[in-house]
Amino acid sequence: MPSRKALVRRPSPRLAEGLVTHVERTPVDPVRALEQWEGYVGALRAHGWETVEVEPADDCPDGVFVEDTVVMFRNVALICRSGAQSRRPEAAAVEEAVARLGCSVNRVREPGTLDGGDVLKAGDTMYVGRGGRTNAAGVAQVRAAFEPLGARVVAVPISRVLHLKSAVTALPDGTVVGYEPLVEASSLFPRFLPVPEEAGAHVVLLGGGRLLMAASAPKSADLFADLGYEPVVVDIGEFEKLEGCVTCLSVRLRDLRP
């Protein structure tokens, strides 16, 4: 049976200092953010996921966006080296966490840079966004780590969003969903479905046709429901102020060996 563990990390008290690149900075309420994070974690647990809390990184404002620190394929973890130098200290505790779970661990090496939010998996295909946080050497190291395991790595240019998964994610059948004004290369995806809201491009597959998504995309939720999926809606508004989305706040580990 596939594993259903999810790495999460509680927000830093310094969350409001988090980096922003493509949006105007607006005030973040740390108390409200913690409540929203607890609601997000509760939604994962309510749908059968065992959450594994990574050691807090209180000195790292962006540490809650744990997805950016590691890329998983099967039982192999590739520890990222962020293109934002200030975020690199976030990775050490995540490496310890995945090693404790029995993962084989590799690391992105200089001069490569890679943020996990730039990697979208759809089946055995790994789309890797080449943009501000992930460079060509980082893409090459994703290929080196995962193509021998059967992955197909496809580089995708991005410039309008922070990460590839800020623009696109994928439904259970492999269809890539995205908000068209932010998607630069939809032709790279065999099946592409435009959604009516930016936040509608972000879904986390919970299993059984359930899609975890943000409350800020009600029209997209209706679209997915019409397609036979079950939206599971959470409010992550404080994290959206920092270019965060539902994918950023966890790392789903589906293929751990018993």
DSSP string, 117-155: GGEEEETTEEEEEESSS--HHHHHHHHHHHGGGT-EEEE
d(CA 178, CA 167): 6
3-state secondary structure of 234: strand
Contact between residue 83 and residue 132 where contact means Cβ atoms under 8 Å apart? yes
Contact between residue 15 and residue 35 where contact means Cβ atoms under 8 Å apart? no
d(CA 110, CA 143): 15
Looking from the CA of 210 toward its CB, the CA atoms found within 13 Å total 13
d(CA 67, CA 231): 21
80 in active site? no
What's the token pair of residue 212?
């975890």
Q: Among the options 80, 163, 202, 245, which is catalytic? A: 163
What is the β-pairing status of strands 50-53 and 251-253?
unpaired
User: What count of other Cβ atoms lies within 10 Å of the Cβ of residue 2?
Assistant: 10
163 in active site? yes
- Which positions ≥6 away from 172 have C-beta within 8 Å? 205, 209, 229
Q: What is the dihedral of CA 90, 75, 124, 107, to 10 degrees?
A: 40
Active site residues: 163, 248
